[in-house]
Amino acid sequence: MSEKKEPIFSKKNKKLISDPLNLNNPVTIQVLGICSALAVTVQMDNAIVMSVAVLFVLVMGNLIVSLMRNLIPTKIKIIVQLVIVAALVIIVDQVLKAYVYDVSKSLSVFVGLIITNCIIMGRLEAFALGNKPWASILDGVGNGLGYGMILVIVAFFKELFGSGGITIPGLGKLDLIPEFMYNIGYEDNGLMLLPPSSLILVAIYIWVQKSRTPSLIDENAN
């Protein structure tokens, strides 16, 4: 990589990582990967492992597609990307089953569903097909983190208000709502555990994000 003119972490490359965290967040701005943000956010630990798995698939997929970008026939490029993503997901699933069986059990079907996560196909198509490998890796890391960030934030509020605590991988469940709150009549809100509450939380996040960054507001929208 060093023979290239630009340094590894040039300003442009840094932007590849920082943009998806805020200005170009895959979930809240690009509106990709909403489906799994609704489903895998009931418990914090699932959200974290899911984020890591998506991050891995996204980075590897971006890298492979970027390396092959001059070889892939345009007629079947979507199929080729799909095959690469599917193969990566199966590898992740098999490795999890063999070496971290408990994690694979708690994620169950969601690992397989990474294939359908629109962020992955979206980034392969929009970025990796037209950029060099290193930039593609950074783009994968950035979007993976941006996705994971939303997942973790949504999961935090859902689990906190839905079941009164947060499950951290390796530590188990930490009860954050103190007992006396329950004694004076506080109750966990079951609705928070269901998918609709994710939509509400994501919407609130977008609201906060846009009010803090006016440049994101679409001037032409009525």
Partner 1 sequence: MSINKEGNSYTMIFAIIMVVIVGGLLAFISSTLKPIQMENVKNEKMQNILQAIGIEETANVTRDEAGAIFNDYITERIILDFDGNVKSNLSNEVAIKPASRKRTDETDAFNVDVRKYYNDLTGLMKKYPERGAEYEAGLKEEGITYPLFVCENEGKKFYITYFSGKGLWDDIWGYISLKEDGRTIVGSVFDHKGETPGLGSKITEVPFNEDFLGKVITTEEGVYRPIKVIKPGKERKEYEVQGLSGATFTAVGVDEMMERSFSVYNKYFKSLALNNFSTSDQQVETVVISDSFSQMTPDTNQVLANK
Residues at the site binding partner 1, with contacts judged by CB under 8 A? 40, 42-43, 46, 71-76, 79-80, 83-84, 87, 90-91, 94-95, 97-99, 101, 106, 108-109, 159, 162-163, 190, 193-194
Minimum CB–partner distance for residue 32 and partner 1 (Å):
22
Let me know: does 142 contact 37? Beta carbons within 8 Å: no
Minimum CB–partner distance for residue 143 and partner 1 (Å):
24
Q: In this complex, which beta carbon is closest to partner 1, that of residue 29 or of residue 53?
A: 53
Q: In this complex, which beta carbon is closest to partner 1, that of residue 80 or of residue 150?
A: 80
Q: In this complex, which beta carbon is closest to partner 1, that of residue 111 or of residue 137?
A: 111
3-state class (DSSP) for residue 173:
strand
Q: In this complex, which beta carbon is closest to partner 1, that of residue 31 or of residue 194?
A: 194
Side chain identity at 51, as an amino acid letter?
A: S
**Which residues are within 8 A (CB) of 180 and not within 5 positions of it... i.e. 6 or more apart?**
none
CA distance 127 to 82: 15
Q: In this complex, which beta carbon is closest to partner 1, that of residue 34 or of residue 111?
A: 111
Return phi, psi of residue 166, to 5°. -125, 135
Minimum CB–partner distance for residue 25 and partner 1 (Å):
24
Minimum CB–partner distance for residue 98 and partner 1 (Å):
4
**Which residues are within 8 A (CB) of 81 and not within 5 positions of it... i.e. 6 or more apart?**
61, 65, 121, 124, 125
Nearest CA to 19 out of 126, 192, 140 is that of: 140
3-state class (DSSP) for residue 168:
strand
Minimum CB–partner distance for residue 178 and partner 1 (Å):
19
Let me know: does 48 contact 169? Beta carbons within 8 Å: yes
